[in-house]
Amino acid sequence: MACVLLFSRTLPASHRLTRTSVCLLSLLLSCLCYWALFPADTQKSGDPTPSCRRAPANGAKRRIHKSPPCVWPLGARPSGIDASDRGPAASLRVDTPSPPMGNLKLGNKKLPNAIIVGVKKGGTRAVLEFIRIHPDVRAAGTETHFFDRNYDRGLEWYRGLMPRTLESQLTMEKTPSYFVTKETPRRISAMSADTKLIAVVRDPVTRAISDYTQTLSKTPDLASFQDLAFRNQSLGIVDTSWNAIRIGLYALHLENWLRHFPLAQIHFVSGERLIADPAGELARLQDFLGLKRIVTDKHFYFNRTKGFPCLKKPESSGSPRCLGKSKGRTHVQIDRDAVEQLRDFYRPYNVKFYEMIRPPAVFTSVAVVAAENPFEVYCVLRGELCASAWAGGITSQRWSREHLVVAGYQIQSGTPRRSEKFGFGYT
C-alpha cells in the first residue's frame, strides 16, 4: 500500500487516486506477489486426481510448508508420475495398509492358542517353564486369572497381557484355578472353541498335602490338616468343601470341561511322570501342540537337593535354571491313618477319571488292580498283560503270568478276587 500511495503522490492533483482505488490496487498487487512467490501446481484437465508434490531428492533442501497429504482413490494411478519418481515405497499397493510400526520383528499380541488350566500344586509352573524354552512358544509370565476373576475386563485387556509373538509361534498362559472354576470352560470356548487345553494332575492326596504345606507357610496359625480334611475322621467322613480336597476330584471337574470341549482337545500331564521323566512328558506335550520335538532330555538334569528336574544352563548363562524356593519344599508330615483314609476316599474318583480319559476301545474285560494314583492304574488282561495308563498315552508291558508287580506290591497270579485295598487283584 505504501508503494501505491507514493505512486499516487507523483501524479498530478487532478489524476490522483481515491482511497478506495488505492486499497483495491494494493490488494491486487499483493495477490500477484503471492502467486509469484508460491506458484500453484498445475493439473491436467480431465485428471481427477489431486496434485502431489514430489519428494525432494537426497541431499536437496526441503521447503517448509503445509500441504494436504496425497491420497489416491482406490485403484487410481497418479498421472504424469511414474514409479521411479515415487521412491522406494512405489512398490507397495496404495490400498494396502502398512503393518504397525515396531511389530515387523517383534510380532503382535494375540489371544492364547493353548492354556494350562490346572491343577494347583500339580506341576503347572514346571510345565510352563519347560515348554517355553521351545523357540515356537511364547507365554505370559504371570497367572492372568482372566476367565475366573477378571472376565469383566474384556478380551482386549486379556490380549494386552500376552507376549508379542510371530505368526509361526504359539501364545500360551497358565492359571491353575481354571480347572475347578465352573464358568471357565464356557468362557474359553466362547473366546475360541479351538483352544488347546493342558491339565497337570498328580496323586490327589499328595497334591492336597502340598497345597496345605504352601498355605501353612503363609498362615502359621492354620488348623491341622486332619481338622480341615475331615468332618469326622473316626467315621472317615471327608470334608469336600475344603478347597484342597475338592480340587482332587478330577472326574467331577472334567465332566464340566467335556460339556464344552472334546476330550481330544485336552492333554493331561502326569505330575509324577514330569519328575521321573520330564523329557518324555514334554515330548508328548509338543506332539499335542503340533510342535517339533526340540525340548529333549538334553535340556534337563535332576536336582537331588530339590528333588525334581531343572533345566541345564544355556550357553549364554552361567548357572542352570531351577524353579523358585517355594517349589520342592518339604511336605508337612501327616498321620498315616489319615493318608490311608483319603486314599480310600479318592479311589473311586480316580478310577472314574481314568475311565473318562482312556481310549474307549483299548481295554476290554479289564480288572483294575491299583487306583491310588489316577495315572498309575494297572490293568490285567487274561492274566498276561499289565498296562500302566499315563496322561500322555497308554504304554503296555508284558509281565510274567506267575508274578505281577503292581505299584510296588507283589501280587501272585491265580484266581482273581476282590481286594479291599486294590479293587481287583490276583492271589
Q: Active-site residues: which are they?
A: 121
Q: Is 236 annotated as a binding residue?
A: no
Tell whether residue 292 is among the known ligand binding residues: no
Angle between the N-to-C axes of helices 336-357 and 204-218, in degrees from 0 to 180, rounded to the nearest 10:
120
Which is nearest to 297 in space by CA: 284, 285, 282? 282
Q: Could you give the C-alpha distances from 195 to 53, 158, 190, 265, in angstroms and in order?
A: 51, 15, 10, 8
Report whether 327 belongs to an annotated binding site: yes
The reply to whether 122 sits in an annotated binding site is yes
Residues in the chain: 427
**Given phi > 0 = left and psi -120 to 50 = alpha, else beta, which region is 75?**
left
Say whether 248 counts as a known binding-site residue: no
54 carries a ligand binding annotation: no
Cα 38 versus chain centre, distance: 58
Pull the grid cell for residue 209.
Answer: 498335602
341 contacts 233 by C-beta, under 8 angstroms: yes
10 assigned binding-site residue: no
Joined together, the cell numbers standing for residue 233 give: 475322621
At 404 the three-state DSSP class reads strand
Say whether 195 counts as a known binding-site residue.
no
DSSP 313-327: PPTT-SS-B---TTT
- State how far the Cα of 288 lies from the Cα of 198, in Å rounded to an integer: 9
Element (H, E) at 116: strand 114-118
Identify each DSSP E strand in 312-376 by its residue range.
367-370
Rounded Cα distance between 349 and 248, Å, is 9
**In Å, what is the CA distance from 116 to each residue of 63, 172, 205, 268, 427?**
58, 8, 21, 10, 42
> Is 59 known as a binding-site position?
no
Question: Which residues sit opposite 368 in a β-bridge?
Answer: 379
Question: Binding site annotation covers 118?
Answer: no
- Measure the N-to-C terminal CA separation of the chain; round to a whole number of Å: 123
In DSSP terms, 237 is beta-bridged to 232
Q: Is 109 annotated in some ligand binding site?
A: no
Q: What does the alpha-carbon distance between residue 129 and residue 132 come to, in Å, rounded to a whole number? A: 5
Residue 170: count of CB within 10 angstroms of its CB: 20
Q: How far is CA 368 from CA 365, 375, 400, in A?
A: 10, 12, 17
Is 331 annotated among the ligand-binding residues? yes
Question: Which amino acids are annotated as binding site, given as ranges?
Answer: 121-125, 202, 210, 327-331
